[in-house]
Amino acid sequence: MALSRVVITGVGLTSPNGNTLQEFRQSLLEGRAGISRIDMRYMGQVLAGVCDFDATKYQKRKELRVGTRAGSVSIYCAREALADAGIAVEDLVSDRTGIYVGTTEHGNVETENEVYNISQFDYDTKFWSHHHNPRTVSNNPAGEVSLNLKVHGPAYTIGAACAAGNLGLIQGMQMLQLGEVDFAIAGGVSESIRSFGIFAGFKSQGALADHEDPNKASRPFDTARNGIVVSEGGALYTLERLEDAQARGAKIYGEIVGYNINSDATDYVLPNPQRQAECMRGALKKAGMEPGDIHIVSTHATATPMGDIQECEAVREVFSDCPDTHINNTKGYIGHAMGAAGALELAGNLPSFEDGLVHPTINVDNLDPKCDLPGLVINEAKQAKRVDAILNNSFGMLGINSALIIKRFSN
């Protein structure tokens, strides 16, 4: 039996440089980054990508006090995606709607904050929050969306390190094709800038970026790159089977036609370019496509010295002879949004189906020769001959790799 075709009909996002797809895309085309300095306990000031969306647009202040930042990001993105898709919350078929939210981690922020708070009271546990458990369970972000929307279908998170945004979309697509749901809200979110442990961990690895100008700190592929800028954010999509989207006359951003997920099984942190190349080739095979059919490769590159080189080796191996394939990266603008990274980076490229523009990789003053890829778009947007297909790379710690292919929709 042929699987149903699955299409994207709505996009909701918040990022350090835009709270709508239109704002985000314009920032990418204009080379406008959104990195700032924040105070982090025990560390002083650190560089971070901070979102400034209005959390009270869809939540009451009491709900914000009880819930989590990841939950608020998820609720905002889900509601914005529904509005973009032209679907009223009350029109959702509650038990046939699924919510699939990819996330890098969840619960560290709340636990760290609560431990710090009771440390001010000599660790007296009577000052420990009774909201701790529902805040820290791993299904929290999706669960908060289900509570907010009053949706009764499956709602859970997908833990996949920094590949999680892609995996949220893949899970939503699969559940639609299996007939488990008729409508899906899927993507990825991150609250990582509120965790001391994230910053301290990257600093101890020598992988935390620093620069006198915050907006030049994240420098994928540049010889002066020195690490990650940790960011928060989210991007959730409404996914529908093609026949359902057409029946209601929905706007269609693109069609999910291929994906692949594999594991390096090599190292806790350092990626394996052979496995990454195999992941991309697997996605192409499932889509029935050749490398030259892809017009934009959105790279995962985080601006770490070895990580960028390893991914470039993999991309070069797959797309070495593809003159119409353009390659870009989004982290120079927003830093590394962890579980939201893949979902946000895909969103930044989706409008290319309409305008044919490939947004650039910024902050590349001196391209590392080991990262010199054919088709790499740096510092200025490029008008492509055509953009009919996007391959979105998203990789994570412990060697999880994902590649997702979106095509321009056509009957």
- Catalytically active residues are 162, 300, 336
CB atoms within 10 A of CB 372: 11
Calpha distance 300→402 (Å, rounded): 10
- Residue ranges of E strands in 15-79: 35-40, 44-49
230, burial (CB in 10 Å: exposed 0-12, middle 13-18, buried 19+): buried
Within its chain, how far is the Cα of 79 from the centroid?
Answer: 17
d(CA 29, CA 53): 21
286 sits in which H/E element: helix 273-287
For CA atoms 25, 28, 29, 34, the dihedral sign is positive
Q: How many CA atoms lie within 13 A of 380 on its CB side?
A: 2
Per DSSP (E only), the strands in 116-154 are: none
Give the span between the Cα atoms of 226 and 95, in whole angstroms.
47
| First-residue to last-residue Cα distance in the chain | 19
Distances (CA, A) of 279 to 101, 155, 165, 317, 400: 22, 27, 16, 12, 10
Q: Which helix (H) or strand (E) holds 356?
A: none
Q: Which residues contact 26 (CB under 8 A, 6 or more apart)?
A: 18, 32
Name, in order, each residue with C-beta under 8 angstroms of 186's C-beta and a sequence gap of 6 or more: 98, 99, 100, 101, 168, 169, 171, 172, 173, 236, 237, 239
CA distance 313 to 400: 17
Helix axes 69-85, 140-149, angle to 10 degrees: 50
Residue 377 tokens read as: 């778009």
Query: Could you give the 3-state DSSP secondary structure of residue 231?
Result: strand
